[in-house]
Amino acid sequence: MASFGDTFWLVVVSVFWGATNPLLKRGSAGIQDIRKDSAIWQFVAELQFMVCNVKYLVPFLINQCGSVVYYLTLASADISLAVPITNSLTFLFTTLTGSLLGEKVGNRDTILGMVLVLFGVFLCVLDKT
C-alpha cells in the first residue's frame, strides 16, 4: 500500500532530479572547450571546472540530495510504485524547467505526453492505495 508520505517524497525526488537537469546542462556549458595534452590532466581540468563553477555545483548538490532522499524513501516505499513515479515525473519536471528557462521543449505532442504521464502516475498511485 502506498502511503502519502512515500508518494510525497518520491515526488520531491522527481522535482530535485528533474529541475536540476536543465540547470546542470547550463552550468556545464564551456566544459567542451577545455583541452589538455593528457587524459589525466584533461580529467583534472574538467573536474576543477565543475567543482569551481557554482552554476554547476549547486544544481549537482541538489540533484545528489534527491538521490539521498530516494535511497531513504526506498526503505518504506513499494518499489513497483517508486520507479514509475520518479522516472516519469523526473521527465515531466525536466521538461517544465527547461521550458521555464527558455529551452525549446517540444510541441503539442509533448504536452499530451506529459498529461498522459501524469494520468499514468495517478493510476499507479490509485492502484496501490
Domain boundaries defined on the chain: 4-128
Locus of grid cell 515525473: 89
Q: How many alpha carbons fall within 13 Å on the CB side of residue 36?
A: 13
Q: Which amino acid is at 18?
A: G
pLDDT surpasses 80 at 129: no
pLDDT reported for residue 103: 86
**CA 2 to CA 4: how far, in whole Å?**
7
Q: What b-and-e string marks burial along 76-108, b requiring 16 or more CB atoms within 10 Å of the CB?
A: ebbeebbebbbebbbbbbbbbbbeeeeeebeee
Report which of residues 83 and 128 the model is more confident about: 83
Average per-residue pLDDT in the chain? 90
By the 8 A CB rule, do 76 and 57 touch? no
pLDDT digits (tens, 9 = 90+) for 56-102: 999 999 999 999 999 999 999 888 888 888 988 898 899 889 989 98
